[in-house]
Structure 1
């Protein structure tokens, strides 16, 4: 599905800062992978490179064998719309559009037939529990509902890879659990391939695998073997070790 080979990203000319150093990562079809690490570790830089929002200094990103960085700007935009889905901390929904219009926006931009858009909307809205919200404006729904709408928009065109950037960052505890449960359901039932950047260990415990990054390098990874509670405890121990926190208290 996704292969990252010797990926580096350096910013600046006179004074250079290497944000990513020789990153190698593989995500298989149907995986749910979390990326964690301290602030400034390179999480967002990695996500931006995978999302084709930024270009690597060296190395390559391959999605199903295709390197989007070799495409021209128009082709990259099309690649992003068709191959990738995005869920952001701030939802990034269009306030002037209805819930329905926000969800079908990727299909609209791709010139899809109205009949196809209606059918896909009819299929996805009930699965995400938002079928009663379709005619409402974004200002009329809660944060948790808005993030469900964002997930529906990200999934309606059945992307090969869903990229989530701190998807629970603006949500309360209940809404966070609802959204993470939804992402896990999409992964398990729809076989959606998901990569999520998060600082929240509870959100991370919904993943199947966690890759830890520090100072621009992937340093460790753990996989869920038993219960979610046990995986959460493993994540907490690893974060304490990486961040140098005394865990005796």
Structure 2
């Protein structure tokens, strides 16, 4: 579904900095993948390239065989709006709009029929447990509820790929667990394909696979065998290994 081939990103002219170095990754339909690594490892750069916010220096990103970087600006905007869904740490919701208006915004921008918007809204809000919030303003709901709304907005147009950037970063432990269970349910029940950047091992333990990036390169990966506690411990051990916490001084 997603094929990343020799992806590289270099910043600067006189003084060059390689943020990503020939990174390769294959993502199949309905996978739930976490992206982890030390600060400055290239995680955010990778996500920005997948999101078409930035362009690679070299290599290719193919989503169902299409390379968005071969499109013009208008086509890229349409591609981003229709093929991708985004969930951010800061929610990025419109405070002047109601919950309902925020959720259907991608469909509104695409000029979708009112009947289609209502059908999708009702289906998603019921599944995500936010039906009673639809008429409220963003300032009237909690952070955990706001992130549920953000997830609903990201999924309203049934994107090919959902990109999540530290989705639990601004949430307390209970809200974090609620949001991660929600993403897990979307992956399992809606067959959503999800890539999530996170530094939180607990959030990562809800994923099916974790890929680790260090110094711009994919250095390792682990898979969830179905036991979340064991997988959490494996994530912790792998992070310590990659970040050098197990090294002798």
- Name the TM-score class by shorter chain: over 0.9
Q: Shift of residue 247 of structure 1?
A: 9.1
Contact 1:33–1:211 (8 Å) recurs in 2:
yes
Report the equivalent of 1:64.
64
Runs of at least 4 residues of structure 1 off by over 6 A? none
Cα-to-partner distance string for 1:20-47 (whole Å, 9 max, x where unaligned): 0000001000000000000000000000
Structure-to-structure mapping, 1:10-159, within 5 angstroms: 10-159=10-159
- Partners of 1:57 and 1:16 in 2: CA distance: 12
Structure-to-structure mapping, 1:199-214, within 5 angstroms: 199-214=199-214
Contact 1:104–1:153 (8 Å) recurs in 2:
yes
In 2 relative to 1, CA 24–117 (structure 1 residues): closer, same or farther, beyond 3 Å?
same
Please provide the CA RMSD for this pair.
1.0
Report the equivalent of 2:183.
183
- Partners of 1:122 and 1:61 in 2: CA distance: 34
Q: Shift of residue 115 of structure 1?
A: 1.1
Report the equivalent of 1:197.
197
- Partners of 1:37 and 1:56 in 2: CA distance: 20
SS in structure 2 opposite 1:20? strand
TM-score (normalised: structure 1)? 0.98
Contact 1:35–1:212 (8 Å) recurs in 2:
yes
Cα-to-partner distance string for 1:139-169 (whole Å, 9 max, x where unaligned): 0000000000000000010000000000000
Cα-to-partner distance string for 1:98-152 (whole Å, 9 max, x where unaligned): 0000000000000101111011101100111100000110000000000000000
Unaligned runs of 5+ residues in structure 1 are none
- Partners of 1:168 and 1:117 in 2: CA distance: 27
SS in structure 2 opposite 1:187? helix
Cα-to-partner distance string for 1:174-233 (whole Å, 9 max, x where unaligned): 000000000000001111000000000000000000000000000000001140000000
In 2 relative to 1, CA 216–99 (structure 1 residues): closer, same or farther, beyond 3 Å?
same
SS in structure 1 opposite 2:168? coil
Q: Shift of residue 246 of structure 1?
A: 3.6
SS in structure 1 opposite 2:134? coil
1:163 aligns with 2:191: no
- Partners of 1:103 and 1:199 in 2: CA distance: 27
- Partners of 1:44 and 1:125 in 2: CA distance: 29
Contact 1:240–1:247 (8 Å) recurs in 2:
no
SS in structure 1 opposite 2:6? strand
TM-score (normalised: structure 2)? 0.98
- Partners of 1:247 and 1:88 in 2: CA distance: 34
